[in-house]
Structure 1
Amino acid sequence: MEPLALSAGLAAGLILIVGLPVVGGLIWAVALGIRIRREEPPTPQEEDQPRLPEGGPVVEAQERREPDELPPRPERLLPHELRTQGSHTSSNQRRRRWHPGASGSFGSGGPGHR
């Protein structure tokens, strides 16, 4: 078998046939990007930026809450009858703490890591 070789003229023609569409596609993509960028709204100015309230930053509030009880009904509630249930502040605001021997990882109820 003889190795395939291209003549210099054929190689140059092949480069032009493949290269010109690639270069044309790149020029088209850049022109499209410039056109899209011109149609975008301008960037916001400094006065358009959000400001802190007069009283300073809003403080995070942490509280324990309990769900409101459902009113008693003689028959069972069906899913389409359920509404968003509210909640109220719990009378016990102490944080729950982990105790040794309590639930293991992922709520397995096991002894946990020893």
Structure 2
Amino acid sequence: MDTTWMDIAAANGALAVGLLVAGVAVVALLIGAFVVGVRVRRREPRPPRPDEQPRLPADGPVHEVRENREPAEVPKSDNRLTAHDLPGHGNIPSRPSPSKERPRWTEGGSGSFGSGGT
């Protein structure tokens, strides 16, 4: 008697059961991820109500102020300076520049290296 077809059917059945178990595992992981996401979302603060939203100031929107700044000079020294050797521990303030004209790059240059300019 030829039992080859029974062996093939048994192998296909095991493959089908394996795929079914893998599919159930993936669905269980997806459901678990959804449940964890819902729990995390419940712990987050609620979104602000419309009356809690930021409001515009009474005198209108605040506009940008453009000004040129002049850097402070770095002190000259024979030794190498580190940040804590500088005045203000490296946080040297700048001051407003009397010139209102913006500094520009030289004509024909882009201001960066390797830009392929003339």
Q: TM-score, normalised by structure 2?
A: 0.64
Structure 1 residues 5 and 76: CA distance shift in structure 2, 3 A: same
Aligned partner of 2:92 in structure 1 is 85
- For residue 44 of structure 1, the aligned residue among 31, 34, 48 is 48
| Unaligned residue ranges in structure 2 (runs of 5+) | none
Q: Percent identical across equivalent pairs?
A: 39
- Kept in 1: contact 2:105–2:111 (CA 8 A): no
Aligned partner of 1:106 in structure 2 is 112
> Residue by residue, what CA displacement relative to the aligned partner does 1:39-83 show, whole Å, maximum 9, x if unpaired?
22111111221111111111111111212345678x657312113
Structure number with the higher helix fraction is 2
Aligned residue pairs total 107
> Residue by residue, what CA displacement relative to the aligned partner does 1:4-51 show, whole Å, maximum 9, x if unpaired?
944464454334322222222222222222222222211111122111
Structure number with the bigger relative contact order (C-alpha 8 A, sep ≥ 6) is 2
Runs of 4+ in structure 1 displaced over 6 angstroms?
none
1:94 maps to 2:101 = yes
Over the residues paired in the alignment, what is the CA RMSD in angstroms?
Answer: 3.3
Structure 1 residues 9 and 70: CA distance shift in structure 2, 3 A: closer
Q: TM-score, normalised by structure 1?
A: 0.66
